[in-house]
Amino acid sequence: MKVLIRQAVPEDAASLLKIYAYYIKNTAVTFEYDVPSEEEFRNRIKETLTRYPFIVAETDGVPVGYAYAGPFKERRAYDWAAELAVYADKNYQNCGIGSMLYNELEKILSRMGITNLYACIAVPEEEDEYLTRNSIGFHRRMGYENVGQFHKCGYKFGRWYDMVWAEKMIGNHFSNQPEVVNYNDIKNK
């Protein structure tokens, strides 16, 4: 399977929303309850791209996954940290799409000067039909370490789920840290 990784564009909203809608309706991977409108999702892509990467994996011209980065927190001192998210089409799970997307995001974020990556991962006390521990395993294989767990903080499908923060360092930490570069300033270099 040949996979092309490229920057998302607002026109990808419908196909990427189709991927995401599956997770909203059928899983507790996301704690979002309602599928956003195509316009809202388009705006999420646009907003992300004002500062961070939003990328798409496609095969034969069809999107099969996407990933993006965003601020870990809004305060200026957190500029060197980013939160990541990745979603693969349900028919392309366990095909390496997520790893390809995360690897590309890491390269981009490293070039931007980001030093710390974070993932907010939904976790079941016991696996069920809505949530497994697969995401924890994926992040561990990608080099993330669990650094905190919140208990019974997400309620979906009549069940309580935990949330784990996972962290990966990708850059050096200096006493005189260089400023982070906006994604738009590096994307075509």
Q: Does residue 188 lie in a domain region?
A: no
pTM comes to 0.95
Per-residue pLDDT tens over the stretch 99-141: 999 999 999 999 999 999 999 999 999 999 999 999 999 999 9
Which is nearest to 58 in space by CA: 112, 11, 106?
Answer: 11
Q: Does residue 148 lie in a domain region?
A: yes
Q: Does residue 182 lie in a domain region?
A: no
Per the structure, the count of domains in the chain is 1
Q: Does residue 156 lie in a domain region?
A: yes
Q: Does residue 181 lie in a domain region?
A: no
Per-residue pLDDT tens over the stretch 3-22: 999 999 999 999 999 999 99
92 pLDDT band (50/70/90 cuts)? confident
CATH number of the structural domain spanning residue 156: 3.40.630.30
Q: Does residue 66 lie in a domain region?
A: yes
Which is nearest to 83 in space by CA: 49, 109, 44?
Answer: 109
Q: Does residue 101 lie in a domain region?
A: yes
> Which pLDDT value is given to residue 35?
98
| Domain region containing 36 | 4-175
Which is nearest to 54 in space by CA: 7, 14, 112?
Answer: 7
Q: Does residue 184 lie in a domain region?
A: no
Three-state SS letters, the chain: CCCEEEECCHHHHHHHHHHHHHHHHHCCCCCCCCCCCHHHHHHHHHHHHCCCCEEEEEECCEEEEEEEEEECCCCHHHCCEEEEEEEECHHHCCCCHHHHHHHHHHHHHHHHCCCEEEEEEEECCCCCCCCCCHHHHHHHHCCCEEEEEEEEEEEECCEEEEEEEEEEECCCCCCCCCCCCCHHHHCCC
